[in-house]
Amino acid sequence: MNGMTSSTTGPTTTPTPVPTPEPALLVRGLELRRAVRPAGTGETTPPPGPPLVGPVDLTVERGQVVCLVGPSGCGKSLTCMSLLGMLPDGVTRTAGTIRVHGQTVDGQDADGAPPERLRLLRGRGAAYVLQNPASCFDPVFTIGAHFQETLAAHLPAGGRNGTRPDWRAAARAALREVGFDDARAILRHYPFQMSGGMLQRVMIALALVLDVPLLIADEPTTDLDLPSQARVLDLLDQVRRTRDMAILLVTHDLSVAARMAHRMAVMRHGRVVEQGDVRELFAAPRHPYTRALLAAHHRLYGLCPPQGDDAVPQHPAPSSAAAGRP
């Protein structure tokens, strides 16, 4: 009959749920304590009392910068070292979980040797850029030798696609990406022939040559002059955008956080006391310590605290590491 529709329909199908991508870094309930070895025993036990660090919760998504800010000695660097199982002797992780791209970071084996999975994670899943780049290079080897060793260690037996890349070509491409016009000459240099800012860019190039999706940068601009600071920050922002890289950036400079971060975590006495969207934290900090940090920052630059929910910090570019930002 005209105008009537059939009452029979085909079988209904339930749409397949799209899996939610794992964050580049997920930290939950992290605690770090001193490890004490009682006399006459070979085992280490954590001492009583509050932990050195913890509890700490952090999440860093791909294409996102999360700034970890706080005063010297609050545990920022220990937190970063724990993320890749690189804690110094005498410090142990006693609680919490760490996942890098969905892969659990187990730390050290019982005999102290890092497991193979963790070793590969350190070079291919994440890279660590330190505050003092000179301490990360062997002065008797050229920059080229460092690239060669890095690729041989982290892309063994042919690497990801069955063929090991030509280390010279890969190194030159990475060095050009971080702003070195004459990459061939840089490969012949020794670390002591280069400035701190140049070495910091080489460290970032060593991460890029392995195409790591997560970069942990522990105060990478602290020891640099203002032009070098701005150059390194521009570079980090560039590789985040072009490579969809996740960056955990440690800093004590709120100007750097205002310029670079999507989210900010404030650390004090080993604990993350507040975290959230960087604009929201600058506009309406909730924790007293966050408010004190921002008040000191505004006094330093002669600014009044922001007023209203939509206030966004504005900083004089010539006076801070954020020089050159849009």
Each residue's pLDDT, cut to its tens digit, for the chain (326 residues) gives 454 544 455 555 555 555 667 888 999 999 998 877 655 555 656 566 688 898 899 999 999 999 999 988 888 999 998 888 888 888 888 888 888 887 787 755 444 445 666 766 777 788 888 878 788 899 999 999 999 988 887 776 544 555 556 888 989 999 999 989 899 999 999 999 998 889 989 988 988 888 888 999 998 887 778 888 888 889 899 989 998 999 999 988 888 898 899 999 999 999 999 999 999 999 999 999 999 999 988 888 777 655 544 444 444 433 344 444 33
Rg of the chain over CA atoms, in angstroms?
A: 23
Q: Which three-class secondary structure state does DSSP give residue 56?
A: strand
Dihedral, 296, 301, 305, 308 alpha carbons, nearest 10:
-140
pLDDT number for residue 321: 46
Dihedral, 198, 204, 205, 211 alpha carbons, nearest 10:
-170
Note the pTM of the prediction, 2 decimals.
0.78
pLDDT number for residue 79: 92
pLDDT number for residue 145: 93
Which is it for strands 91-100 and 25-34: parallel, antiparallel or unpaired? antiparallel
Which residues, at least 6 apart from 268, have a Cβ–Cβ distance to it below 8 Å? 70, 71, 74, 289
pLDDT number for residue 67: 95
CB 202 within 8 A of CB 143: yes
CA atoms within 13 A on the CB side of 14: 2
255-264: b or e for each residue (b if 16 or more CB lie within 10 Å)? bbbbbbbbbb
Question: Which two structure tokens, joined as six digits, stand for 226?
Answer: 């203002």
The Cα–Cα gap between 253 and 139 comes to 30
pLDDT number for residue 250: 93
* Residue 220 DSSP label: T
3-state secondary structure labels for all residues of 229-259: HHHHHHHHHHHHHHHCCEEEEEECCHHHHHH
Beta strands in the chain (DSSP E): 25-34, 53-60, 65-69, 91-100, 103-104, 126-129, 214-218, 246-251, 263-268, 271-277
The Cα–Cα gap between 7 and 31 comes to 62
CATH topology classification for 49-315? Rossmann fold (3.40.50)
Q: Is 83 exposed, middle or buried (0-12, 13-18, 19+ CB in 10 A)?
A: buried
